[in-house]
Amino acid sequence: MEPTELMLTAARTAAVYVLMIVVIRALGKRTVGNFSAFDLLVALMLGEVVDEIIYGDVRFAQGAIAIVAIAALTYADSWLAYWDHGMEGVLEGKPTIVMRDGEFDREGMRKERMNEKDVLGHLRSEGIHDMREVHLAVVEHDGSMSVLKQPWAEPAQKGDVLEDERKAKERAIGDGGTPPVDKRTDSPFAMDGQRVAHKRSRAA
Q: Tell whether 85 and 117 lie within a shared domain.
A: no
Q: Which amino acid is at 50?
A: V
What ranges in 84-105 are assigned the alpha helix state H? 87-91
Q: What is the mean pLDDT of residues 94-109?
A: 92
Q: What is the mean pLDDT of residues 110-133?
A: 91
How confident is the model over 4-41, as pLDDT tens digits?
866 776 777 677 767 766 776 665 544 444 555 566 66
Q: Tell whether 43 and 108 lie within a shared domain.
A: no
Domains identified in the chain, total number: 2
- On whether residue 135 sits in a domain, the answer given is yes
- On whether residue 204 sits in a domain, the answer given is no
Say what the alpha-carbon torsion angle 151, 155, 159, 162 is, to the nearest 10 degrees. 140
* pTM of the shown model: 0.55
pLDDT recorded at residue 7: 76
Q: Which of 19-33, 49-63, 166-180 has the lowest average pLDDT?
A: 19-33
- On whether residue 200 sits in a domain, the answer given is no
pLDDT of 163 higher than 90: no
Range of the domain at 79: 3-89
pLDDT recorded at residue 24: 65
Q: Tell whether 73 and 124 lie within a shared domain.
A: no
Q: Tell whether 8 and 56 lie within a shared domain.
A: yes
- On whether residue 43 sits in a domain, the answer given is yes
